[in-house]
Amino acid sequence: MQPMETEDMQDLRKLFRIICSIALGATVFVASAETSTLQAAYKEFFPIGAAIATEKNGFDSLTRYPPELLAEFSSLVAENCMKPGEIEPAEGKFAWTNPDRIVAYAKEHGMLMRGHTLVWHNQSAQWMFSATGSADEKRAKTRDRLKTYIGAVVGRYRNDVYCWDVVNEAVKDDWDAGKWPSIYRENSPWFAAYGNASYIQDAFDFAREASPDAKLFYNDYGLCGASKRARTIEMIKTLKLKDHGLTGVGIQGHWNLSWPPVSEIQVTIDAFAALGLEVQITELDIDCYGNTPSEKGIPYAQVEDALAKRYAEIFACFRKNSGKITGVTFWGVADDHTWLDHFWLGVWHEGRTRKNWPLLFAEDGSKKKAYRAVVDFKENR
């Protein structure tokens, strides 16, 4: 048996790491001496996850963050590297290295692994839509490719990924309301290649075939808005997705300091639970700017308290609903890496930054007021 490490030894180890990183000129991440973690505080409620980056501009969450920081979470998801365009950029050419690394890390540390995502209109693999011929031929060829793709990816991780975002963002947005009559995102390459929404049913069928026990999710943003939520419910019912293996709905938590009101979050959780579905909050991050059009950054001190207050009310709601919620995942680990630095007003600004602070850990890995607001609660399950 290994001798137990004393607290002194643990502190020494942390100090050693900090000294090494200073010597190497690296960012110093604050290692907390506290033994409690986010995942421990929420053990009785639901797993708490984080999205892991592996490739974007050389940023690698698994090597950048100290294990103590990652150990705050009990579940991981890939921010990008498990999307079709990343995992199989050309037919038959798979990039398994990064997904394998995250899966191995999760396994080694006793964490859950979510899979994101199999079918999406963005970051998709363009070769999957290259079929030519009649509408029937195109649909048949695309369907074959989808089946092969899902078989390969879901099959590879069938013992590791407990939950898949099978289809992402397939429902029409409010701002597309007048563009076509159906409730679906008709300008998705999937819809175009199939000529209808049956690709959604196929994706769930193929995922279920490849992994009989995985939880299979539909994942989308804007679900706390009444009309998009209604369209999503209509999709689930019309396509009879539960008969195709649907386990639950992922409510993407790309929210801000005031939207959505907690009452709407509650209505949304209840609406999907009423269909007999699990709910997970996926991709949680709180945009500190809301819909501010200005590209000019504001100082963090200006929003710190409001962010903490917002996180407190959101997590109070989640705890109250822990019988319905089976996971809460942040879209990132710490504020030094968040897609919101580049994404505002619905547009990705390549090469431009407006610093945002949507997460619970600061840029140096230290715990923010918002962290305290999430873990310091009184009620039990």
Which one-letter amino acid corresponds to residue 306? A
Q: Which is nearer to ligand XIL, 180 or 348 (CB)?
A: 348
Smallest distance from ligand XIL to CB 168, Å: 5
Task: Please give the Cα distance from 381 to 379 (Å, whole number).
Answer: 7
Q: Which is nearer to ligand XIL, 37 or 232 (CB)?
A: 232
Q: Which is nearer to ligand XIL, 14 or 56 (CB)?
A: 56
Q: Which residue number places its CB atom closest to ligand XIL? A: 339
Q: Which is nearer to ligand XIL, 73 or 339 (CB)?
A: 339
Q: Which of 68, 72, 79, 169 is catalytic?
A: 169
User: Can you name the residues that pair with 113 across neighbouring β-strands?
Assistant: 76
**Strands 248-256 vs 278-287: parallel, antiparallel or unpaired:** parallel
Binders of ligand XIL in range 233-292 (CB under 6 A): 252, 283
Q: Which is nearer to ligand XIL, 36 or 122 (CB)?
A: 122
Residues binding ligand XIL: number (CB under 6 A): 7
Among 14, 17, 56, 121, binds ligand XIL (CB under 6 A): 56
C-beta of residue 39 within 8 angstroms of C-beta of residue 74? yes
Smallest distance from ligand XIL to CB 266, Å: 23
Q: How do the residues of the chain divide into helix, strand and coil, expressed in percent and rounded to 5?
A: 40, 15, 40
Q: Cβ-count burial of 95 within 10 angstroms (0-12 exposed, 13-18 middle, 19+ buried)? A: middle
Our separate counts of H helices and E strands in the chain read 13, 10
Our finding on whether 330 is near ligand XIL (CB under 6 A) is no
Among 168, 188, 268, 329, binds ligand XIL (CB under 6 A): 168
Smallest distance from ligand XIL to CB 66, Å: 22
Smallest distance from ligand XIL to CB 169, Å: 6
Three-state DSSP state, 155: helix
- Please report, for residues 64, 131, 208, 334, 352, the alpha-carbon distance to residue 26 in angstroms, rounded to integers and kept in the order given: 9, 48, 44, 16, 23
The verdict on whether 283 is a catalytic residue reads: yes
Name the token pair of 335: 């504020």
Q: Which of 68, 79, 278, 283 is catalytic?
A: 283
Smallest distance from ligand XIL to CB 123, Å: 6
C-beta of residue 360 within 8 angstroms of C-beta of residue 330? yes
Smallest distance from ligand XIL to CB 33, Å: 32
Q: Which is nearer to ligand XIL, 126 or 159 (CB)?
A: 126
Of 230, 221, 226, the C-alpha closest to 287 is: 221
C-beta of residue 280 within 8 angstroms of C-beta of residue 250? yes
Name the token pair of 112: 């859950």
Contacts with ligand XIL by CB under 6 A lie at: 56, 79-80, 168, 252, 283, 339
Catalytic residue IDs:
169, 283
